[in-house]
A and B are shown apart, each in its own frame.
Chain A
Amino acid sequence: MRKKTILGLGLPLLAIAVAAGGLLYRANDAARDRVADDRLKTADAAPPDAAAIQRGAYVAATADCAACHTAPGSAQAFAGGYPLKTPFGVLISSNITPDRETGIGDWTERDFFRAVRHGQSPHGPLYAAMPYNAYVKLTDQDMHDLWAYMRSQAPVHNHIVSNQLPFPFNIRLLNLGWNLLFFDNHPFQPKGEQSAEWNRGAYLVDGPGHCAACHTAKNPLGGDSSAYLQGGPLQGWYAPEIANNPHVGLGAWTVPEIAQYLKTGSNGRAVASGPMAEAVENSTQHLTDADLVAIATYLRTVPGSNTQAPGPLAADDARMRRGAQVYAVNCSACHEGRGQGVADMVTGFAGNPAVQSANPDSLVQTLLKGGRGAVTEANPTGAGMPAFGWKLNDADAAAVLTFIRNSWGNAAAPVTADQVAATRAALGAPAVVK
């Protein structure tokens, strides 16, 4: 009886286990990577294919590999050491130069493919901070070129201990389960009904560009939510919506405006700063004009959130009156009297969707700690926003942000002093000088 019961319970469990195992297998199936060679090692001598290396350099730019795999301020490209702060703890980016001992010198091309596209490295499963859930879309050709480029890099001996997460997140095998839940293990599928340009844009956005890594909100386990490209919080910043909501997304931006922003770091109104400035500097400014137009063309078709503009606060609201005073004294010299900013140099507030995002984290952070505009070949200025954390108290900081979010045609929820206080504490920003 007892045996039977166990059997009775066991069979469905077994069935579930088999089914789960099948799904687990499929989620972690890297059979597609078998197209890559499995004998030659990254560091082995081989005749260089100059054209492939050049194409690979471009793929590396589109994928922004340097952003994470080069330490801040380091001259040693791809030698790792960049601390990635995840909600689960800190990960240190790995050394991906062709050093045999501390880099990927002993990897074959197939090892490289499996790591980049499927998160399976010779050392075990990778964490999804490495955006293989986007890179899985990379074509075989791009992967091949990218490997050629990585092989052309100078080996750097730099030992990195990547995994500095606390228990239980330090157990790499958990990633297999994460893949089961959240890894969409499919190559890029062009849509026949769309233009080649649109498909190129979709490929760049979802594949190498891994835009969703920041611009799509995450669930509690770090998987993508369904609000695709509709904005997400990120290490104290808020990556705004880049889908088509006209109020807080790109709905009111034209294709040339989006392309210009990605090329130069600005489009006459918004100026990239914070993590997006890094993305522009390291990646998007290096893309061809055709690819930037393709990205913009695709983004303009992504369905936007249904965020509605609230009614703006009345100008005689006490917070608005105080905010106007703070603005006139502290902000107007650069951002100008009507929030228009200075084209391609100082962010304009009027009609700027990111300023009206429901989540004001980026505004609060920039006000308290300052920031710097993207520095690009096309626009090397890099004007800086000074820190005001030492100067403005929580109430005044909240008032001025509320003011810029509700003036000159803008409308957004007020920022509260409590929000500012919380961000000040979280960022370790200084208290007001008495």
Chain B
Amino acid sequence: MAQQRARVDAVIVGLGWAGSLMAEELTRAGLTVVALERGAWRDTTTDFPPAVDTDELRWSTRRGMLQPQAVETLTFRNRPDQGALPLRDWNCFQFGWNVGGAGTHWNGMTWRFKPYDFQPHTLTRRRYGDKKLADGLQVQDWGVSYDDLEPFYDRFERLAGTSGKAGNIQGQAQPGGNPFEGPRQRDYPLPPLQRTRACDLFDAGAAKLGLHSFPVPAGNTSGAYVNPLGVHMAPCTYCGYCEFFGCGNWSKSSPQACILPALKRRPNFSVLTQSEVLKVNLAADKKTATGVTFIDAAGRLWEQPADIVVISAYQMDNVRLMLLSGIGKPYDRASGTGVVGRNYAYQTISGASVFFEDEHLNPFIGAGALAQAVDDYNSDNFDHTHHDFIGGANMLIHSTNGRPIGMGGAVPPGTPRWGSDWKKAYRDSYQNSNSVYCQGTSYGHRDVYLDLDPTYTDRHGMPLLRVTFDWNENDARMAHFIADRAVEMGHAMGAKVVSRFEPTAKAFSPMDQLSSHTTGGAVMGADPTTSALNPYLQSWDVHNVFVAGASCFANNGGCNPTGTVAATTLWAAHAIKEQYLKNPGPLVKA
């Protein structure tokens, strides 16, 4: 029997970026908010202070900040006709397991999606006609436009202290920025990070090919900064220990560095750590939630009653919690009906490894998002009339780190994997290697989805989430085209060896570390037959449940998702404050 806690206005499940931003908005509006986080409290001073040398083996190789598979994992298969098996070793899915969530250990790339990415169905049909879409593809609009989200992207960049260069301010092209981005109201709060030799080489290659290079927007501070909550950030030191690490210098955008110092001062906010939500409790009529049931570190069951439930855990956990709680109709592949688990997507990766001669790339000077990119082949930024796919990818070179263990595999093809020849090659490659890395769009497909596994359960006896995923035809064609472009870029940069990289040519394996960007499964949209959430991230079926995070993406864009996670969350928070609180009920008629 669960013990009862005092009722609150809102309970937040998962205190990563989405949960922190939602909590900041709702507490500022005067609501009493309790956040439940299944991981532990972590902050800069106590958990990753600069007094402690950054330990690649602990944090990166052994992933000291991620949720271990022994605590919870997922099962995976490529196709619906296969059996799925649990993943029992570190893989490409990086579940945060601490206050701050994945926002603590991410790299910091803070992109906005392109206007096209939110309306791919409408805009594809308008430009290319009805027959452009490959069979099985589930391309659909988000029910929200880039212009709707722009103020919330802007708000997040201000909170996060993003470093970058605008390419389009209110329709005016800005030299040096990304000419393909949607119009912004103003420039980034901080100028771009310092440049590296790799950036210069990339720019020269882009110029030779007539492409438009620009600095990737970075959640790594190019200078000291104070955000709108009055929280200070210190300048990045370019140590390169970002991904899988907490930042000891208050230089990487994270809930710890940007939101929590202000949030934890508020008397109407509290957080319970090591508290795992097992389900959202529904009223008898299933139209509203009454709160959540969670289990604490000592194994005690608790019920937290609340007027509003915000589900803001990891993308896959959001979907799983909805399925476990009976919120929304599960996607059924056979009939093509149901919405929870539908339109799962991953990031379509391809590119080329490049090896120079007599360079000094000094990879030990870097930052999580210190990169130079082109967007000429992303989204619908180029004419697809003569291509057999939609979407595209950005292409970038990344000065992110020079970690001795992690870079050990970055040697030219044909090099032995150990022994003196490997050592000789690695010594040379350390200063000469990089890659042209392309992050592509990914669209929903009939055969790609999330559901509850019929066999395997977690330590509480509840079904694991089952992922059914393989590259779809559209995404594989796109990646093939993009890999060609990456090879061109490698040669244009003057690389001695260019090694093409096209993982989409074979079946996907989660054991390949291609990208951690995993989206969808509880998507937003204007049509309740194809989306689990309405355009305000509100469950179509249970009106006081809002689901924030990358699970709401109807498709993945050709870049990192965090900026869009934040913008959609802040957009939903705005709707809760301005509309829902005044008149609780469905914000959109189904």
Which residue numbers of A lie inside 8 Å of B, CB to CB? Answer: 330, 333-334, 336, 342-346, 370, 372, 375, 377-388, 391
Contact = CB atoms under 8 A, between A and B. Distances in A.
A383 B256 CA distance: 11
Contacts of A391: 51
Interface string B215-247: 000000000101001111111010100000000
Given A370-B45, A387-B51, A333 B265 contact: no
B250 interface: yes
A342 B52 contact: no
A430 to B, nearest CB: 12
Given A333-B237, A342-B224, A382 B261 contact: yes
B51 A345 contact: no
Given A333-B237, A334-B249, A378 B232 contact: no
B68 interface: no
B50 A333 contact: yes
Contact of B50 (A334, A372, A382): A334
A330 B224 contact: no
A429 to B, nearest CB: 13
A333 B49 contact: no
Contact of B232 (A342, A370, A388): A342
Contacts of B224: 342-343, 345
Nearest to B249: A333
Given A333-B237, A345-B233, A385-B45, 18 more contacts: A330-B50, A333-B249, A334-B50, A342-B224, A343-B224, A344-B226, A345-B224, A345-B250, A375-B265, A378-B230, A380-B231, A381-B231, A381-B261, A382-B261, A384-B46, A384-B49, A386-B49, A386-B51
A372 B229 contact: no
Contacts of A383: 44-45, 232, 234, 250
B262 interface: yes
B237 to A, nearest CB: 5
Contacts of B49: 370, 384, 386-387
B42 to A, nearest CB: 13
A333 B249 CA distance: 7
A380 B230 contact: yes
13 contacts: A330-B50, A330-B51, A343-B224, A370-B45, A379-B232, A380-B230, A381-B232, A383-B44, A383-B45, A383-B234, A384-B44, A386-B51, A388-B51
Max count, chain A CB within 10 A of own CB: residue among B230, B233, B262:
B230
Closest 9 pairs (CB-CB, A-B):
A384-B45, A386-B49, A386-B51, A345-B232, A381-B232, A342-B234, A380-B261, A380-B262, A333-B237
A383 B258 CA distance: 12
B486 to A, nearest CB: 35
Nearest to A381: B232
Contact of B45 (A372, A380, A388): A372
B234 A334 contact: yes
Max count, chain A CB within 10 A of own CB: residue among B233, B234, B239, B249:
B234
Q: Is the interface of A mostly helix, strand, loop or mixed?
A: loop
A127 B52 CA distance: 43
A386 B234 contact: no
B93 to A, nearest CB: 32
Nearest to A264: B230
Interface residues of B, number: 24
Contacts of B51: 330, 370, 386-388, 391
Max count, chain B CB within 10 A of own CB: residue among A343, A345, A385, A388:
A345
B230 A342 contact: no
Max count, chain A CB within 10 A of own CB: residue among B229, B232, B262:
B232
Contacts of B262: 380
Nearest to A344: B232
Nearest to B229: A380
A385 B45 CA distance: 7
A345 B261 contact: no
A346 B234 contact: yes
Nearest to A331: B50
Nearest to A330: B51
Contacts of A346: 234
Contacts of A388: 51
A342 B231 CA distance: 13
Contact of A379 (B44, B230, B237, B250): B230
Contact of B265 (A336, A380, A386): A380
A381 B262 CA distance: 7
A144 B45 CA distance: 43
Interface in B50-64: 50-52
B235 A342 contact: yes
Contacts of B239: 333
Contacts of A384: 44-46, 49
A387 B250 CA distance: 17
A147 to B, nearest CB: 26
A270 B334 CA distance: 67
Contact of B52 (A372, A380, A382, A386): A386
Contacts of A386: 45, 49-52, 248
Contacts of A385: 45
Max count, chain B CB within 10 A of own CB: residue among A330, A379, A380, A387:
A380
Contacts of A387: 49, 51
A174 B45 CA distance: 45
Nearest to B262: A380
A340 B326 CA distance: 57
A380 B257 CA distance: 11
A431 to B, nearest CB: 15
A293 B125 CA distance: 66
A98 B162 CA distance: 51
A383 B45 CA distance: 7
Nearest to B250: A383
Contacts of A336: 235
Nearest to B261: A380
A382 B44 CA distance: 11
